[in-house]
Amino acid sequence: MPRRKPQPKSTRRGAPTANHGEVGFGGALSRRESGPGGYSDEDYIVRTVPGARATKTYRCPGCDHDIRPGVSHLVTWPAEYGGADERRHWHAGCWSGRSTRGLTRRWS
C-alpha cells in the first residue's frame, strides 16, 4: 500500500490560502478591487495593515483625518502602474464607502 505524503506543518487542512483570488505581496495577502470615486474603472491592489504593524501616522484621502500608529487600516495602489509613490493609506470604513462619496483629499 502506498504511503501518503505528509503535509508541511505550516499548512493546516481547511486553512485559507493565498490562491483564492488574493495575491501575495511582501509577505501579506492582497486583493484586487475597483478604485475610489473618479477612478472606479481602474483596479487597485488592497492590502490590510494590522494595528501591530502600523507604526507611522498617515492621512486618509477618504476623510482627510489621521490614521494613527497602532490603528488597523488598508494600503491601496493602482494595479496597472502603481509603485511605492502611488500607495495610499485608508481607514477601512472610508475605503468601503469610496463609491458613494468623492475623495476629500487629492494626492499629487
- Closest by alpha carbon to 60, among 45, 50, 71? 71
Segment 48-95, tens digit of pLDDT: 999 999 999 999 999 999 999 999 999 999 998 878 889 999 999 999
Q: Which of 69, 47, 61, 43 is nearest to 105 (CA)?
A: 61
Asked if residue 37 is part of any domain, the answer here is yes
30, part of any domain:
yes
Task: Find the domain containing 55 and state its range.
Answer: 22-96
* pTM summary value: 0.68
Residue 50 domain-assigned (yes or no)? yes
Question: What secondary structure does DSSP assign to 61-88, as a single string?
Answer: TTT--EE-TT--EEEEEETTT--GGG-E
How many domains would you assign to the chain?
1
Q: Is residue 8 part of a domain?
A: no
> Does 13 map to a domain?
no
pLDDT (tens digit per residue) in 80-92: 887 888 999 999 9
17 pLDDT higher than 60: no
On whether residue 33 sits in a domain, the answer given is: yes
β-partners of residue 45 are 32, 77
